[in-house]
Amino acid sequence: MKKPSLRFRLTDAFYIAMMILPIVFGIVLKVLTKPATTGISITGAGIYFTIPMPIQDFPVTESQVNSVIALVVVLFLCLYLTHGLTEKADLKRQHFAEMAVTKVDDLVKENMGEYFNGFTPFIIAILALSAVSSLLTLCGLFPPTSDINIVGGWAVLVFFLITYYKMKCGPVNYLKSFTQPVALLTPINLISEVATPVSMAFRHYGNVLSGTVISVLLGSALAGLSAKLLSFLPGFLADIPLFQVGIPAVLSLYFDLFSGCLQAFIFAMLTMMYVAGAFDAETFFKKKARKSAKNKS
Amino acid sequence: MELAIGIILGCCALGAGMAMIAGIGPGIGEGNAVASACEAIARQPESKGSVTTTMLMGCAIAETTGLYALVIAILLIFVAPNILVNILTEAMQAL
């Protein structure tokens, strides 16, 4: 195998640096603007600064900045993984990239069917963005997914997709679908239509936020416990919250790593199911066949 | 005034606690789902992958009602007291 040229390696270094630098930037920004606190402090996203606007001031919050950080990290991760693609695949990262794309491709084919073959990039984008956003907690940053505004935005996007694929069979069929199976149930159908994005947003946001709240509560409880139990130790040893070392890491393994990745997967799966379920393939193809027959005659 | 603020804070905390009674339902439901998944895997070990995926999806959907309660509890603890106390002080100033 040929040794990579200097230029190739420099580009690699640039991509890796651009993956790490935004996170460092976020940490520095947080350290500079947020005062350190001890004890229980559960707050929403802090506001860095506000931009004056004619109707209402536009606050730039921690979650917005962190979601842009996540976007940049995902962008340069993709650039790094696809750098130096060859037909023989002699770089390890190409195998990884191919594996990821094939896995999601299979998932999409299995869950959505033939018509939605082009959906892989969208699903993989949702997966990567959600997972990276949730995993930002590992660096001590505020996870954007524990802010309902961010997750609500994704859910509204999915809602538009669902409505678009319902409209594919024509607006008349779309309006008629609300009166199924009985016209009496129309209000309930309307509520369930709105409940889809709301429940998707609440599910993702509630899971990540509850993990944060439980972690903070457990941390302060362990500090209080060690202050009570270890107060007999001499000198400065009594002031160190010894129980806080290591034990929260076990919970963090579940709440940050496992739950973050699982919620990303569930959000992507629900997107696939809702979009695929919204599309009435039978009526669509029947209509298409009728139209082409009419054009011929 | 202090009494009124105390009642507001106490009732918000009580309401949050009562809202989380809804956590019972998802607990039972998810337990049932996982039990059935265990039985299915025991009967057909080769279908472990798809059963696990379906179980996770089902758990996520069963969790929804509990999460609604969680959101309401969080609103009651972190958001509602400030708003209610502001309304109270404004009303007292108007008197």
A147: phi then psi, degrees, rounded to nearest 5: -115, 125
Q: How many CB pairs under 8 A join A and B?
A: 31
Measuring CA to CA, which residue among B72, B56, B63 is closest to residue B28?
Answer: B63
Q: Does A206 touch chain B (CB under 8 A)?
A: yes
**B56 vs A contacts (CB less than 8 Å):** 262, 265-266
DSSP 8-state assignment for residue A170: -
* Cα A113 from Cα A108, distance rounded (Å): 7
> What six digits make up the tokens of B44?
């057909």
For residue A265, what is the nearest residue in chain B, using CA coordinates?
B57
- Any domain includes A232: yes
Q: What is the DSSP string of A7-40?
A: HHHHHHHHHHHHHHHHHHHHHHHHHHHSPP--S-
For residue B57, what is the nearest residue in chain A, using CA coordinates?
A266
For residue A208, what is the nearest residue in chain B, using CA coordinates?
B67
pLDDT < 70 stretches in chain A:
1-2, 36-41
pTM of the predicted structure, to 2 decimals: 0.85
- Any domain includes A234: yes
Q: Does A270 touch chain B (CB under 8 A)?
A: yes
- Any domain includes A291: yes
Length of chain B: 95
Q: Report CB contact under 8 Å: B68, A202.
A: yes
Q: Report CB contact under 8 Å: B67, A206.
A: yes
DSSP 8-state assignment for residue A169: T
pLDDT value, residue B32: 94
Q: How many domains does chain A have?
A: 1
CA distance A164 to chain B (A): 24
- 3-class DSSP state for residue A129? helix
Looking at the predicted complex, does its ipTM rise above 0.85?
Answer: no
Name residue A58's beta-bridge partners. Answer: A51
Helix axes A148-167, A186-229, angle to 10 degrees: 160
- Any domain includes A168: yes
- Any domain includes A24: yes
Q: Which of A151-160, A280-289, B41-50, B63-72 has the lowest mean pLDDT?
A: A280-289
Token pair 């193809």 is found at A285
Residue B59: pLDDT over 60: yes
* Cα A145 from Cα B70, distance rounded (Å): 16
Q: Does A210 touch chain B (CB under 8 A)?
A: yes
Q: Which residues of B3-18 are buried (b: 16+ CB within 10 A; e: fewer)?
A: eeeeebeeebeebbee
Q: Report CB contact under 8 Å: B70, A206.
A: yes
- Any domain includes A192: yes
pLDDT value, residue B40: 94
For residue B56, what is the nearest residue in chain A, using CA coordinates?
A266
pLDDT value, residue A230: 77
Q: Report CB contact under 8 Å: A206, B78.
A: no
- Any domain includes A1: no
Query: Best of A107, A203, A265, A273 to disrupt the B interface by mutation (most B CBs within 10 Å)?
Result: A203
pLDDT value, residue B7: 93
- Any domain includes A21: yes
CA distance B28 to chain A (A): 18
CA distance B61 to chain A (A): 8
Other beta carbons within 10 Å of A266: 21
Out of B63, B64, B74, name the one closest to residue A209 (CB). B74
* Cα B63 from Cα B26, distance rounded (Å): 5
pLDDT value, residue B31: 94
Q: Which structural domain, as residue segments, surrounds residue A143? A: 6-296
Q: Does B74 touch chain A (CB under 8 A)?
A: yes
Q: Does A199 touch chain B (CB under 8 A)?
A: yes
